[in-house]
Amino acid sequence: MTELFAICSTWEVDDASARGFVLAKRDEAGAITRWPILVTRKGNNFYGFENACPHEGGRLDTVPGEFLDEDGNFLTCGRHNAQFDLDTGHCFIGPCQGKALTAIPLIIDDGDICLAGVDLADEDGMDIDDPNAVPEVMITGD
Q: Under the criterion CB under 6 A, does residue 38 sit at the interface with ligand FES?
A: no
CB 77 to ligand FES: min, Å: 3
Sheet of strand 103-104, all strands in order from the earlier edge strand to the far edge: 17-26, 32-42, 45-50, 103-104
- Residue selected from 20, 48, 89, 94 as contacting ligand FES according to rule CB under 6 A: 94
Going 28 to 39 to 135 to 107, the CA torsion angle's sign is negative
**Please, what is the minimum distance in Å from the beta carbon of residue 73 to ligand FES?**
17
DSSP calls for 39-64: EEEETTEEEEEES--TTTSS-S-SST
In the list 2, 12, 62, 80, the residue contacting ligand FES (rule: CB under 6 A) is 80
- Residues lying near ligand FES in the complex (CB under 6 A) are found at 53, 55-56, 58, 77, 79-80, 82, 94-96
